[in-house]
Amino acid sequence: MKTKITQILKQRYYLLFFFSLLLQQTYAQQQITITGKVVSATGESIPFANVVIKNTKNGAVTDFDGTYKIAAAGNQTLVFSSQGYKTTEIEINNKTSINVTLQEDAMKLDEIVVVGYGSQQKKDLTGAVSLVKATEIQKRQVTTVADGLQGLVTGVKVRGGGRPGQEASVEIRGLKNLQNTNPLYVIDGLVTSANRDFNPNDIESIQVLKDASAAAIYGSRAANGVIIITTKKGKKGPLQIDVSAKSSFTTIPRYDLAGTEEFARLNNMAYDNAGMTRQNLNMAVNTDWQDAVFRTGMMQDYNASVSGGNENSTFFMSGNYFGNEGAVIGTDFDRISFRVNSSGTKGIFSIGENLAISNSKTDEMSGNPIIDVYRMTPTIPLYDASNPGGYGYGKQGVADTFGTNPLAIADFANTINENFRIRGNIWSELKFAPWLKYRFNFGYETSFDSYKFMRKVGNWTLNQPIDPSQTDQNKGRSQTTLFENTLTFKKEFGKHDITVLVGQTFQKDKYDQIYGTKRNLPINSGTGQYYEVLNQGDSPVVGGFINEAALASYLGRIEYNYDNRYLLNAVLRRDGSSRFSDANKWGNFPSVSAGWRISNESFFKSEFIKDLKLRASYGELGSGNIKEYEYKSFVNNFGQIVLGQNLYPSATQVKLSNSELRWEKLKQTNFGLDLGVLNNDLRLTADYFIARTEDVLFGFPILLTTGNDGGNPISNAATVENKGFELELAYSKKINEFSFNASINFTKVNNKLVSLGNGQNENISGNTITRGGMPVGMWYVLQTDGLFQNQQEIDNYKNANGQVIMPNAVPGDIRFKDVNGDGQITSTDKAIVGSPWPEFEMGLNAGAEYKGFDFSMNWIASHGATVYNGFRSVVDRFDDNSNYRAGIQPWTPENPNTDFPRITKGSTLNSRGDSDRFLENGDFIRLKYIGFGYNLPQSVLKNSGISRARLTLSAQNIITITKYKGLDPEFTNSNIFERGVDNGAFPNLQTYSFGVDFSF
């Protein structure tokens, strides 16, 4: 018994010792409470982020402010994750406070992408869709969304300028037709335009649909690509207030022009060489026209938003003021805008609205001061009391120039455009079952447009008649109504995931305008200002018109996903437009695309490759981008005819029509590859496409002797083809508190005009030719071959028959090539010498973050384009009286070693604008944006009531590497046939910005 008791005591002792060790171990692993905040790289709170103890199911979720609280052992590890961000692990090490910065996951395979009438996960995309971070656009100082896209997306070419209120041109995957049409914009489901009335600060996400399969759901309006914009919405949580302010200073690049002394020397030389009497130049004047016209511009951008929500409803409200005092006199732009987005849910019913109101006012540029500053000479004073109006602009025999005084025209001819716009939509959804929902969308947009031109008494150029004062005014209103009904079925059956969408839409557009003109306006004797109201003055002219169009559509889409490996997407849209006759009103636009996620196959075993997907698609898109009544004839019923001695009313057809007009059709094939390696830190996207547009709608010039004076009649004639390759390579990495990201995109597009149609083979416009089988707008000019150094060279320049080709030339003149060998230089000697289209374009984006500091930059580059320098074609010609480039060394017998010809006033031989003399290399590399930011630490803000504070400093267009001698190699020309002509295009400005952002 004693032994048994002893054994029990020993067992209890061992048991006690075991529990003692267990208690010690438990004490060692005693839980502590950890608190902290989860933010993004830009310092914004990340709500609803997951905080999980590693290797357990225990966790927490951050609240609206990004804060969390969790209990864990001091030697455990926390795992932080959120959709769209890279997962981060941090060891606790007995710390009770852990703040985490999550880096964005560039792959974001689970990210939801808006694709038109629905959405998909990024990993399931089979078409060519590019996503753009809204922050990339918002950190730049831009007027429109398009300005901010430059260099960020493969296949998207953007060309803008620095004129206040100027809207950039956007070209997706090259030339699709001959009308220079911008892509379709869809904002929150409303088909509209993201023009200068739209506030870029309201953007939540941007998707660019580039190929036919991605854009086919928009059918006849998607031939030039689609840009889908989703604006910001409220989120579940307490009230969130965000305020931002940005101020920018802008400067315009300048020409290097001659001053009075150098101008006089060259001008006298030109007159002497021509044997003409010199001008009586005013040597006492040395006007720097650039100093008088160009100034430091200023932009102000103030934005405030309020958002919030609960389980059943959310709201977002914002207000913005954007003001741009231009860097050129007489150019200003102001915009004020408001937005309200809200939504609510009750049971199976949801409803919401997106409403934006804006008012923009633009002081349009009078004349073209970009040209006038070198057309005017330095010997002309700014002001001359002897001229009507008091401005200087030249005199016969003293300053024989027909340039325009920019100050005078800005004073005497002023144009104001003002637009008050309301746009938005109301939507509602009924979710009959988790797999079936119906959606109704009503969109409405209206713009009240006001145009006012005021012509005061006064002159701005030589020999100008003294015109009376005049005001031209018009009031217009545009209205767009949109009705959409869609039914969506989405269901998973084992490994099968099927989504079916069917819908119907109807859109109606209307624009009406009234206009009036009055002359000889009286002046208010008290203020000295003109009465601009139309009940003053005389010689009234009034008029007006109404344009209407409608588009009805039916659409369907099937998305099929088998086991996240095999993807299929098919779309069919049928559009009917009132712009076509009944026989050709309807068009069908189908597409099909497929994807194969090889990385999800069981046989695919690779730690290096994390994601691999192949894509292929074919689709057909349409375009009916013509005026409302092109298929109808126009009759002028105000005519009169004399028969005998009597006058009778008459009617005459003044515009030819084409009742056979039909849809322009784009057929596009796309092959794509998506690849992610090194744990998806390195990503590659590549696409090759072939696009062919048939039955291109275009109005070719016809003779006025046909009786047509209503513009060139439209016909389905040309065929245009594009082939291109796109590549994007991106890398991102985080090492402790330092993170880095970089991406490079490459775009190569070759366009070709397959045929012009209508029995034509070529079209000549200015110095370009568009010929079947070649790119549009090729340079078609005379070719120069150096300078004649002496009379012997002139006499020896003969054709095969021994005929002297340029007998009237003198030493120092340009030698032109006699291409056809007929012994003379004529237009028949012109040859195709180059292309205005770049061989490829590139963009480089890079950024880094360390603790609260961040840095980002964007470079763009273009290579292979030949461009025409309109500036040099004026200042280097010498047969008129414009200013000249500083530092030129023209040919003289004493200075024969130069490439600049002799200068002479009396001959146009050396000033021909139709030669290759003014063609230049259009290559450039530009630092489009560079910015620095700093997020104030939470320790500084914790007692201020401010949850986030950020300071930014940035610059745009400050470095440009180019051989181009004009103001800006990144110019734009709206004439599709003269794309490469820089004829006074407003240049991009150097912009320096400072901004602050606060969140409460």
Q: What is the pLDDT of residues 842-879, one digit of tens each?
A: 999 999 999 889 999 999 999 999 999 999 999 998 88
Amino acid (1-letter code) at residue 924: F
**What is the CB-side half-sphere exposure of residue 224 using CA atoms within 13 A?**
19
Tell me what the mean pLDDT of segment 562-567 comes to: 93
Check residue 199 and give its pLDDT.
92
Check residue 63 and give its pLDDT.
80
Check residue 107 and give its pLDDT.
54
Q: Is residue 48 very low, low, confident or very high in pLDDT (cuts 50, 70, 90)?
A: confident
Q: Is residue 470 very low, low, confident or very high in pLDDT (cuts 50, 70, 90)?
A: very high
Q: Is the pLDDT of residue 106 over 70?
A: no
Q: Residue 130: exposed, middle, or buried by beta-carbon count in 10 A (0-12, 13-18, 19+)?
A: buried
Distance CA 768, CA 639 (A): 39
Helices (H) and strands (E) in the chain, counts: 11, 49
**What is the CB-side half-sphere exposure of residue 368 using CA atoms within 13 A?**
12
Check residue 23 and give its pLDDT.
41
Q: How many CB atoms lie within 10 A of CB 346?
A: 9
Three-state SS for 909?
Answer: helix
Check residue 2 and give its pLDDT.
43
Q: Is residue 339 very low, low, confident or very high in pLDDT (cuts 50, 70, 90)?
A: very high
Question: Across the chain, what does the average pLDDT equal?
Answer: 89
Q: Is the pLDDT of residue 109 over 70?
A: no
Q: Is residue 547 very low, low, confident or very high in pLDDT (cuts 50, 70, 90)?
A: very high
Check residue 943 and give its pLDDT.
77
Q: Is the pLDDT of residue 710 over 70?
A: no
Q: Is the pLDDT of residue 296 over 80?
A: yes
Q: Is the pLDDT of residue 511 over 50?
A: yes
The tokens describing 495, both together, are 């490994």
Pairing of strands 814-816, 784-787: antiparallel
The CA R_g of the chain, rounded to the nearest whole Å, is 34
Q: Is residue 16 very low, low, confident or very high in pLDDT (cuts 50, 70, 90)?
A: very low
Pairing of strands 586-597, 67-73: unpaired
Q: How many CB atoms lie within 10 A of CB 37?
A: 20
Task: Summarize pLDDT for 140-173 with one digit per residue, the tens.
Answer: 888 888 888 888 999 998 888 888 988 888 889 8
Q: What is the pTM of this model?
A: 0.86
Check residue 797 and give its pLDDT.
95
Q: C-alpha angle with apex 674: 670 to 676, nearest 5 degrees?
A: 170
Check residue 634 and give its pLDDT.
74
Query: What is the share, in percent, of the chain residues with pLDDT greater than 70?
Result: 95
Amino acid (1-letter code) at residue 545: F
Q: Which residue would you say has higher pLDDT here, 108 or 21?
A: 108
Question: CB–CB of 174/751 below 8 Å?
Answer: yes
Q: Is the pLDDT of residue 57 over 90?
A: no
Distance CA 181, CA 864 (A): 23
Check residue 101 and give its pLDDT.
86
Element (H, E) at 574: strand 566-577
Q: Is the pLDDT of residue 715 over 90?
A: no
User: Which range is least confidently modeled, 19-28, 420-429, 527-536, 732-741?
Assistant: 19-28
Check residue 263 and give its pLDDT.
96
Tell me what the mean pLDDT of segment 889-906 comes to: 93
Check residue 28 and give its pLDDT.
43
Q: Is residue 707 very low, low, confident or very high in pLDDT (cuts 50, 70, 90)?
A: low
Check residue 833 and give its pLDDT.
95
User: Which range is least confidently modeled, 54-68, 230-244, 301-315, 978-992?
Assistant: 54-68
Q: Is the pLDDT of residue 25 over 60?
A: no
Q: How many CB atoms lie within 10 A of CB 409?
A: 24
Four-CA torsion 271, 275, 277, 280, nearest 10 degrees: 20
